[in-house]
């Protein structure tokens, strides 16, 4: 199989891992606190590792990782329905990886796909167990329908965090600057935390988290990447600061100020990297 076809297949895998991450996080947030929700979040983190491995392999082959979301099965009126959908999603992934392991000649890529497959088999079994459990017990969607100005602001924050997660990861894979790549990955992980904090707060306030992203900057030079990152971090830090002045709840105010301070830190780190890049 030629290199371009392998890249195409791996990008399809990457897209589906991306879709699984969002599907599983949406379900975990919709279930609220509890052991099952925590386990599903852990599986989403497994899928994040898969996405990372696949993206690195695509770049090694000379390709560019896709930012698209692949297969998702988001329907269902109950937690039991969600778990059944998750089983189906994993079964599709298992079949896809098994087919690719058979078709791809490269032993290193075969080994990677077998490693991912082992996780997907375990996920399928876990979701089958969760489907049985949620059928026996009453498990409801804890998200609400409230949509006031503050919830809309928090969902705007989720959109921002999701966008820069994708942006920083893409930049991390493409930049030849090793120090910048390390920092971009670190800040992307921090933004993942932010997304979780915001989504959980939206649910606590009676709303529904909207996990969608805006346009991702696709600059190709490291300096342009960092300049775009600094600009968006400064803008968002200012937005979180302004939102904090409108928050009546002390915990919410503290969250928004923490997010503001984190974004200021990101902008400063990226600023140092940009100066080094320009002087190098």
Q: How far apart are CA 217 and CA 277, in angstroms?
A: 19
Assigned domain for 270 exists: yes
Assigned domain for 144 exists: no
Exposure string (b/e) for 158-180, b if CB count within 10 Å is 16 or more?
Answer: bbbbbbbbbbbbbbbbbbebeeb
Q: How far apart are CA 173 and CA 187, in angstroms?
A: 14
263 and 163 within one domain? yes
CB 61 within 8 A of CB 173: no
- On the question of pLDDT at 137 being above 90, the answer is no
Q: How far apart are CA 197 and CA 260, in angstroms?
A: 13
Please, which pLDDT band fits residue 138 given cuts at 50, 70 and 90? confident
170 and 57 within one domain? no
What's the CATH number where 175 sits? 1.20.1260.10
Assigned domain for 176 exists: yes
- Rg value, the chain, Cα: 20
The two tokens of residue 206 are: 């009676």
Assigned domain for 124 exists: yes
Domain housing 215: 149-279
CB 191 within 8 A of CB 170: no
Residue-wise pLDDT for 75-127, tens only, equals: 888 999 999 999 999 999 999 999 999 999 999 999 999 999 999 999 999 99
The two tokens of residue 228 are: 């775009």
DSSP characters over 190-219: HHHHHHHHHHHHHHHTT--------PPP--
**Alpha-carbon distances of 171 from 16, 59, 168, 179, rounded to whole Å:** 20, 11, 5, 12
Q: How many structural domains is the chain composed of?
A: 2
132 and 35 within one domain? yes
Q: How far apart are CA 121 and CA 126, in angstroms?
A: 9
Residue-wise pLDDT for 162-207, tens only, equals: 999 999 999 999 999 999 999 999 999 999 999 999 999 999 999 9
186 and 128 within one domain? no
pLDDT of residue 136: 86
Task: State phi, psi for 206 to the nearest 5 degrees.
Answer: 90, 15
Residue-wise pLDDT for 27-82, tens only, equals: 999 998 889 999 999 999 999 999 999 999 999 999 999 999 999 999 888 999 99
Domain boundary residue, one of 115, 136, 157: 136
The two tokens of residue 271 are: 């600023």
Please, which pLDDT band fits residue 150 given cuts at 50, 70 and 90? very high
Helix (H, G, I), strand (E, B) or coil at 25: helix
pTM of the model: 0.94
Q: Helices (DSSP H) in the chain: which residue ranges?
A: 3-31, 35-60, 79-103, 107-136, 149-174, 178-204, 222-244, 250-279
Assigned domain for 143 exists: no
Assigned domain for 129 exists: yes
261 and 234 within one domain? yes
CB 58 within 8 A of CB 11: yes
224 and 254 within one domain? yes
pLDDT of residue 255: 98
266 and 169 within one domain? yes
CB 202 within 8 A of CB 154: yes
- On the question of pLDDT at 280 being above 80, the answer is no
Residue-wise pLDDT for 191-249, tens only, equals: 999 999 999 999 999 999 999 999 999 999 999 999 999 999 999 999 999 999 999 99
275 and 177 within one domain? yes
130 and 52 within one domain? yes
């Amino acid at each position: 199989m030629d290199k371009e076809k392998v890249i195409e297949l791996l990008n399809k895998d990457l897209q589906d891992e991306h879709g699984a991450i969002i599907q599983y996080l949406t379900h975990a947030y919709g279930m609220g606190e509890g052991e099952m929700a925590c386990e599903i979040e852990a599986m989403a983190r497994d899928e994040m590792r898969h996405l990372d491995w696949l993206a690195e392999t695509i770049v090694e082959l000379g390709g560019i990782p896709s930012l698209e979301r692949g297969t998702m099965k988001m329907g269902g009126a109950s937690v039991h329905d969600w778990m059944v959908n998750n089983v189906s999603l994993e079964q599709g992934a298992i079949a896809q990886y098994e087919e690719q392991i058979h078709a791809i000649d490269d032993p290193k890529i075969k080994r990677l796909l077998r490693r991912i497959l082992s996780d997907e088999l375990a996920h399928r079994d876990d979701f089958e167990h969760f489907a049985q459990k949620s059928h026996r017990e009453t498990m409801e969607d804890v998200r609400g329908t409230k949509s006031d100005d503050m919830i809309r602001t928090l969902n705007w924050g989720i959109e921002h965090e999701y966008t820069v997660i994708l942006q920083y990861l893409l930049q991390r894979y493409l930049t030849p600057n090793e120090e910048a790549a390390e920092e971009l990955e670190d800040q992307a992980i921090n933004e993942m935390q932010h997304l979780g904090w915001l989504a959980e707060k939206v649910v606590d306030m009676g709303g529904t988290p909207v996990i969608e992203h805006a346009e991702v900057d696709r600059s190709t030079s490291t300096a342009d990447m960092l300049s775009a990152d600094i600009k968006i971090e400064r803008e968002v830090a200012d937005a979180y600061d302004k939102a904090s002045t409108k928050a009546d709840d002390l915990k919410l105010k503290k969250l928004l100020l923490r997010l503001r301070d984190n974004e200021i830190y990101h902008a400063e780190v990226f600023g140092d990297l940009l100066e080094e890049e320009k002087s190098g």
